[in-house]
Amino acid sequence: MTDWWRGAVVYQVYPRSFQDTDGDGVGDLPGIIRRLDHIAGLGVDAIWLSPINQSPQRDMGYDVSDYKEVDRIFGSLEEFDMLIERAHVLGLKVIIDQVLSHTSDQHPWFRESRLSRTNARADWYVWADPNKDGTPPNNWPSVFGGRAWEWNPSRGQYYFHNFLSEQPDLNFHNPEVQDAVLDVLRFWLERGVDGFRLDTVNYYFHDRQLRDNPPARRPKHLPYAVNPYDMQEHRYGKSQPENVGFLRRVRALLDRFPGSTSVGEIGDSHRGLQLMEEYTSGGDKLHMAYTFDLLGPEFTARHFRSKQLGFFTGAPNGWPCWAFSNHDVNRHLSRWLKHAVGPVQLARLAAAMLLSFRGSVCLYQGEELGLPEADILFEELTDPPGIRFWPEYKGRDGCRTPMPWDEGEAPNGFSSGKPWLPVKPEHSALNVARQNADPDSVLAFYRAALAFRRAHPVLREGEIRFFKVAEPLLAFRRGDGEAALTCLFNLSADPVIVTLRGGVGSDPLPISRGASRRGSRLTLAASGFAFLAGGEIDVAFGGRRRPG
């Protein structure tokens, strides 16, 4: 089936933190192979591996020094081939991260480019002359703090870096650069991967004129952002129109490998949804895209509804991939806990909701255990922006800590050595072994929810229609006719009453939690949710029901 990705559930593996087998405290490919049964047992369709390419690890693998080699801390190309083979035996597709917008400054391409203005790769990166006073050519900042320009005395020019100074941006206006990165994708496709998660997919092109970015709008009553990067509207350093043409070249390559797919990460706070639509519409660019729209603090029915409606209205032929957590943001259990009656209830509610949205889904490792964000001390930090902006911003280490697999003292079966990040007590208590033995655990619910999604094709393929109801109720129907499902979610810590009208429908299906029905009256407990099958049900929100 070549369109397996449409409606698929993808499990993100952060290799450094999944399973270590050689005792160095860092996860590796043999560890992933060892734990593939756990992933397959969840009932997902694919895995996505965060970067495993050779790298100095200044940004945990997002600074690639050799695109066609596996970093030795993770293993070898031969072990990668073994992983692909075992995953396919288990029915899992394999998607790998590709970081194409920039390389490491240790990459041979950059080492050559920085030597002079006349070498064969002189124009492979973004170089610019200084202003007359020696300052950088414009006001573009780095995502990780400071200016996005680094001086290189060999050339007497600045080079552009959206992230660390050790991560120079490639110049995609140069056709040779495009050809080189397409050759990288071809290398991995020929090795058997089923697709790519394309990191920072809207960062490939920059404005040729290097125009200054305008300031972002900031209400006067709000303080300045912690990171100056958030004080600009990034109109020129990324998200350029030329990107669409290159994505068509990527798709043309993928189409020569039937069944392969692509999902692009779009980081743009001003135009994220628009780019998501633009990059996936028409069937000739990305297969899927996701933004950070559902990875923030907002937890309202209006927010979730507006993002779904906004995408499908703007790109009726495009396809989204939704996620609540990943390796770059605080885990959603910590972001949204204040809106729920408790962590277990929130974990179930979030899983049921995400797996009911129209589109494909990404689950982040540990999400199935109900892991909260880990509280990392300053002396334990490894993440560059966390170190730079501490304590107002603690970085991304809190969502990247190792998986707790077994009972016993930390690191709970992750490694026989000292892990690269600590396993905190609250994570130890949520280990896989303990939850495997508990039929009421968050892990058990994830397995049940994924089985429910597989048993109801409308959750994978059906249209979505939202009911006009008030906060805190999110209500929609997936599909039509007898196979339709009505999905109701109470996004608050108070019970709510829902009135059902029209078709009779069913009592709440067994996957529901905190839901009871008496005739046309349905009560949802705090953080409760219900799935009703069949009938042309109409929904009216009856209001909150105060305890007692």
What is the pLDDT at residue 218?
Answer: 77
Mark whether 436 and 489 lie in a shared domain: no
Bridge partners for 127 per DSSP: 159
Nearest to 427 by CA among 370, 346, 347, 382: 370
Q: Is 75 helix (H, G, I), strand (E, B) or coil?
A: coil
Which H helix or E strand runs over 177? helix 175-190
Mark whether 339 and 484 lie in a shared domain: no
Check 63, 97, 199, 293 and give the catalytic one.
199
Q: Is 354 helix (H, G, I), strand (E, B) or coil?
A: helix
Q: Which residue has the tokens 């597989």?
A: 454
Mark whether 450 and 483 lie in a shared domain: no
Nearest to 214 by CA among 197, 198, 234: 234
Whether pLDDT at 164 is above 60: yes
The predicted-structure confidence for 340-367, as pLDDT tens digits, reads as follows: 999 999 999 999 999 999 999 999 999 9
Mark whether 469 and 445 lie in a shared domain: no
Q: What whole-number distance in Å separates Cα of residue 237 and Cα of residue 457?
A: 42
Sign of the alpha-carbon torsion through 5, 363, 483, 318? negative
Check: CB of residue 475 under 8 Å from CB of residue 532: no
Domain boundary, last residue among 433, 454, 475 = 454
Model confidence at 546, pLDDT cuts 50, 70, 90, reads very low
Check: CB of residue 58 under 8 Å from CB of residue 21: no
Q: Is 227 part of any domain? A: yes
Q: Left if phi > 0, otherwise alpha if psi is -120 to 50, otherwise beta: which for 253?
A: alpha
Mark whether 412 and 442 lie in a shared domain: yes
Distances (CA, A) of 209 to 205, 240, 295: 12, 12, 33
Active site residue 328: no
Q: Is 130 part of any domain? A: no
Cα(first)–Cα(last) distance of the chain, in Å?
Answer: 53
Q: What whole-number distance in Å separates Cα of residue 325 and Cα of residue 347?
A: 12
Active site residue 494: no
Q: What whole-number distance in Å separates Cα of residue 227 and Cα of residue 230?
A: 6
The CATH number covering residue 531 comes to 2.60.40.1180
Q: Is 161 part of any domain? A: no
Check 105, 265, 278, 373 and give the catalytic one.
265
Q: Is 167 part of any domain? A: no
The predicted-structure confidence for 104-125, as pLDDT tens digits, reads as follows: 999 999 999 999 999 999 999 9
Whether pLDDT at 20 is above 80: yes
Span 472-484, mean pLDDT?
93
Name the average pLDDT for the chain: 95
The predicted-structure confidence for 169-197, as pLDDT tens digits, reads as follows: 999 999 999 999 999 999 999 999 999 99
Mark whether 264 and 311 lie in a shared domain: yes
How many domains are there within the chain?
2
Mark whether 300 and 394 lie in a shared domain: yes
Check: CB of residue 130 under 8 Å from CB of residue 157: yes
Mark whether 439 and 497 lie in a shared domain: no
The CATH number covering residue 391 comes to 3.20.20.80
Q: What whole-number distance in Å separates Cα of residue 33 and Cα of residue 52?
A: 14
Model confidence at 482, pLDDT cuts 50, 70, 90, reads confident
Whether pLDDT at 83 is above 70: yes
The predicted-structure confidence for 374-420, as pLDDT tens digits, reads as follows: 999 999 999 999 999 999 999 999 999 999 999 988 899 999 999 99
CA dihedral 385, 389, 392, 395 (to 10 degrees): 20
- Residues 6 or more apart whose CB falls under 8 angstroms from that of 518 comprise none
Mark whether 255 and 384 lie in a shared domain: yes
Whether pLDDT at 547 is above 70: no
Q: What whole-number distance in Å separates Cα of residue 180 and Cα of residue 532?
A: 51
What phi and psi, each to the nearest 5 degrees, are found at residue 313? -75, -40
Residue 545 has which token pair? 């029901």
Mark whether 513 and 444 lie in a shared domain: no
- Residues 6 or more apart whose CB falls under 8 angstroms from that of 132 comprise none
Q: What whole-number distance in Å separates Cα of residue 232 and Cα of residue 541?
A: 41
260, burial (CB in 10 Å: exposed 0-12, middle 13-18, buried 19+): buried
Q: Left if phi > 0, otherwise alpha if psi is -120 to 50, otherwise beta: which for 199?
A: beta
Domain boundary, last residue among 454, 487, 513 = 454
Q: Is 74 part of any domain? A: yes
Nearest to 500 by CA among 545, 541, 543: 541
Domain boundary, last residue among 387, 421, 454 = 454
Mark whether 66 and 188 lie in a shared domain: yes
Q: Is 122 part of any domain? A: no
Instruction: Identify which has the larger pLDDT, 519 or 538.
Output: 519
Q: What whole-number distance in Å separates Cα of residue 121 and Cα of residue 99?
A: 19
Bridge partners for 521 per DSSP: 499, 518
516, burial (CB in 10 Å: exposed 0-12, middle 13-18, buried 19+): middle
Q: What whole-number distance in Å separates Cα of residue 199 and Cα of residue 102?
A: 10
What is the pLDDT at residue 409?
Answer: 87
Model confidence at 215, pLDDT cuts 50, 70, 90, reads very high
Mark whether 408 and 484 lie in a shared domain: no
Instruction: Identify which has the larger pLDDT, 480 or 201.
Output: 201
Q: Is 502 part of any domain? A: yes
Q: Is 160 part of any domain? A: no
pTM for this entry: 0.96
Number of helices (H), then strands (E), belonging to the chain: the values are 15, 20
| Domain of residue 183, residue span | 9-102+174-454
Check: CB of residue 527 under 8 Å from CB of residue 490: yes
CA dihedral 315, 317, 318, 321 (to 10 degrees): 110
